[in-house]
Amino acid sequence: MKTKYVIATVVIIVLIASAAFVYVHYQGQTADSGLAALQNLVDDDDYKTILTAYPEKIVSVAPSATEILYAIDAGDKVVAVTDYDNYPYDFAAWVAAGNMTSVGDFTDPNLEVITSLDPDLILASGGVQVESVDTLRDLGYKVLVLDPTNIDGVLKNIELVGNATGKRAEATALVNDITSRITAVENAVANEAKPKVYYEVYYESTSSWTIGAKAWQSELIEIAGGTNIFEDQQIDYYQFQVEALIDRNPDVIVLPASGMGTGQLESLDVVKARPGWDTMNAVQNDRLYQIDSNIIERAGPRVADAIEQFAAFFHP
Amino acid sequence: MSTDEVESTFFRRTSRWKLIVVLLVLALIVTVIVSLNVGYAQIPFPDILGILGKQIPFLDGLIDSSLISPQNAAIILQIRLPRILAGVLVGAALAAAGVLYQGVFKNPMADSYVLGVSAGAAVGASLSILSGIGFVFLGLRLVQVAAFIGALSAMFLVYNISRVGSRVPVATLLLCGISVNFFLFAIVGLLEVIASDELHSIVFWLVGGFSNVLWRDIWAILPFIIIGIVAAYFYARDLNLLAMGEETAHHLGVNVERSKQILLVLASLTTAAAVSICGLVGFVGLMIPHLTRLIIGPDHRILLPTSTIIGAIFLVICDDLARVVATPFASTLELPVGIITMLFGAPFFIILFKKKKQSYAA
């Protein structure tokens, strides 16, 4: 009889122990997969950042990064943005009301403001911010550099920010949404003829600027069923000869509705009246469109909006 | 020397001058025609002649333009021609103003920067870009009008600060000019910091160039530049006498202060007109007068017209280079003309200067 009790006790102990082990093991695994992601945050700088916990205070010094944070429901952790940030909320008004801190200029964010906030994570972009990023890393701050050159890069960055903030499900959902919207546009324009598109960056009496193949807008134009008229130019933003544009004769002209102009763009008639532009197909067929340059120029979660808008211009 | 000899030297010299001016004018015309061929679009020369001929009354009926594309006609008549003429006008204006500044100040470093004229134009342009107002006044856009006003105001500011009684000594004028120049460029720097969206516009404007100059821009600045240069020519003799010292000039019957005043106004007027359409294009006003002096000599009666024409030729060639640099690579790229003027102008000037520096040491 005694043996029976011993066996039963051993079996019960083994069962409880197994259950406990499985439970502990399972717990460990969930914690581990999140932490593993925090251990391996590789950004566009190829810099590996290691976080020990999900950040509670995030400073975003790039408007595109701010847009990503709010789009994946991590906006409540944002404590400071730049003066350029204006989406998804009017951050300037928040700053004025004291509900948000500004780190000032995008090209030269105020390091004293950033250090005084003592953030757990800083999201920056590349290019002009490289020096600030180096300084912040020297000061011991965790900085993720988001500097995508194409749509894949944007999607990767959304996943990266999702991993860093513990919003992995939201990030995946956003990526899937963007991908499916882009695919829908691609399918819709697949059999359409591709118009030659001129994308304006800046036009003044002193110089004119547009985009070449290496600018990321070129890819957006391509996906939306158009061809950047300067896609053979292996360069990003550059000063070009307007006579080349007249010679190539664009079918569609896209102009920034805000941003770089000097107030000259109050009406498209001004554009049509530029010297020699009346010979262009786009002007003769009245196919000039204005677009909020923030949507196009920020490599952020509104990339699908940008492509849908382009597609509406190219294939009305 | 007998009167006859003096007279014959004078006539030999003036006929030599006439020859130089005629040759330079021919060189300018050749430069303009050659420049019409320069650019991204490959337009055959006969087509260019056809396009131009079509514009000439009585000749237009004789030309068969059916083979000329409207794009090419637009490129020649609305892009290249105004741009080349802008180069002619701006180059002429900056070089002529350079001669006047250097002559009045008797200082080889004097140019439109010294009086704060360029800086004044930059402040005016930056303010108007920041204001975001787009309006057109007498065919000019606000940024151009503002640059013009800024340039003239800076000059009057400097002139009045440096005035001692009724005289304006060159030393105080230079020092005030340089101070005001730094001060105004500091303001431009401040405005650039404040400007966020408009920053590019300010920076691009300051770099200078005349890629998209309109015909109406040319008509707007033409009277200022022609009147400025022609009027200055009547003071060439005064400039020669000023070169001997203000005292001497005074004794030889020059109303020194008045001449200086008028010459400065004329120089600033032409500079302001030029920078109002092209932004800040550096080095032309400084280099061309020296270059011309080394080749032609210091007499302002010939220095002023020759500098004017050489300045025009130089800037048109620089603008050609700005367009042609990328063409071999099938590129539509264009360089800012201000970079070309300095990049090609400075070494050329240094080589010439090295050969002839004895004439400066003397």
Q: Which positions ≥6 away from A188 have C-beta within 8 Å?
A: A225, A311, A315
pLDDT (0 to 100) of residue A105: 82
Answer yes or no: is pLDDT of A184 > 50: yes
How far, in Å, CA of A89 to CA of B197, rounded? 18
Q: What is the pLDDT of residues B130-187, one digit of tens each?
A: 876 766 666 667 888 888 899 889 988 988 888 887 777 878 888 898 899 999 999 9
The question of ipTM being above 0.85 is answered as no
Answer yes or no: is pLDDT of A137 > 50: yes
| Region of residue A276 (left: phi > 0; alpha: psi -120 to 50; beta: else) | left
Q: Residue B204's pLDDT band (boundaries 50, 70, 90)?
A: confident
Q: What type of residue sits at position B6?
A: V
- Both structure tokens of B2: 């007998």
pLDDT (0 to 100) of residue B136: 64
Report the residue count for chain B: 362
pLDDT (0 to 100) of residue A78: 96
DSSP assignment of B236-255 equals HHHHHHHTT-HHHHHHTT--
Q: Is B22 on the interface with A (CB under 8 A)?
A: no
pLDDT (0 to 100) of residue A27: 56
Interface test with B, best of A206, A210, A236, A264 (most B CBs within 10 A): A206
Q: What type of residue sits at position B302?
A: I
Entry pTM: 0.81
DSSP symbol at A47: P
| B-chain residues near A230 (CB < 8 A) | 332
Distance from the B141 Cα atom to the nearest Cα atom in chain A, whole angstroms = 9
Q: What type of residue sits at position A45?
A: D
> What is the dihedral sign for C-alpha A111, A115, A118, A120?
positive
- For the ranges B4-8, B102-106, B287-291, the maximum mean pLDDT occurs at B287-291
Q: What is the pLDDT of residues B317-338, one digit of tens each?
A: 999 999 888 777 668 888 888 8
How far, in Å, CA of B139 to CA of A33, rounded? 67
| A-chain residues near B75 (CB < 8 A) | 243, 246-247, 276
For residues B72-102, one letter each, b for 16 or more C-beta atoms within 10 angstroms of the residue's C-beta and e for the rest, the string is: bbbbbbbbbbbbbbbbbbbbbbbbbbbbbbb
A153-162, A221-230, B234-243, B245-254 — which is least confidently predicted?
Answer: B245-254
- Both structure tokens of A303: 């990339």
Q: Which positions ≥6 away from A269 have C-beta within 8 Å?
A: none
- What would you measure as the largest C-alpha separation in chain A, in angstroms? 108
Nearest to B334 among A83, A239, A270 (CB): A239
3-state helix, strand, coil in chain A (%, to 5): 50, 15, 35
Interface test with A, best of B332, B335, B340, B341 (most A CBs within 10 A): B332
How far, in Å, CA of B318 to CA of B313, rounded? 9
- What number of other Cβ atoms are within 10 A of residue B29's Cβ? 11
Dihedral, CA of residue B15, residue B17, residue B19 and residue B22, to nearest 10: -130
Helix axes B81-105, B170-194, angle to 10 degrees: 140
Mean pLDDT of chain B: 86
pLDDT (0 to 100) of residue B330: 67
Distance from the B35 Cα atom to the nearest Cα atom in chain A, whole angstroms = 14
Answer yes or no: is pLDDT of B234 > 90: yes
What does each C-alpha distance from A312 to A229, A257, B138 come to in angstroms?
Answer: 18, 16, 39
Answer yes or no: is pLDDT of A84 > 80: yes
What does each C-alpha distance from A76 to A140, A261, B51, B295 come to in angstroms?
Answer: 23, 34, 64, 72
pLDDT (0 to 100) of residue A237: 87
pLDDT (0 to 100) of residue A26: 57
Distance from the B322 Cα atom to the nearest Cα atom in chain A, whole angstroms = 10
Q: List A48's β-bridge partners, or say none.
A: A42
Q: Is B184 on the interface with A (CB under 8 A)?
A: no
Nearest residue to B204 via CA among B215, B192, B219? B192
pLDDT (0 to 100) of residue B294: 87
Q: Residue A231's pLDDT band (boundaries 50, 70, 90)?
A: very high
pLDDT (0 to 100) of residue A262: 40
Q: Residue B63's pLDDT band (boundaries 50, 70, 90)?
A: confident
How far, in Å, CA of B285 to CA of B10, rounded? 29
- Both structure tokens of A249: 């004769």
Q: Residue B77's pLDDT band (boundaries 50, 70, 90)?
A: very high
Q: List B301's β-bridge partners, or say none.
A: none
- Both structure tokens of B142: 């606000």
Mean pLDDT of chain A: 88
Answer yes or no: is pLDDT of B306 > 90: yes
Nearest to A243 among B39, B70, B198 (CB): B39
How far, in Å, CA of A10 to CA of A6, rounded? 6
| CB contact (8 A) between residue A238 and residue B333 | yes
DSSP symbol at A253: E
Q: What is the pLDDT of residues B80-92, one digit of tens each?
A: 999 999 999 999 9
Q: What is the mean pLDDT of residues B226-232?
A: 95
Q: What is the CA radius of gyration of chain B?
A: 22
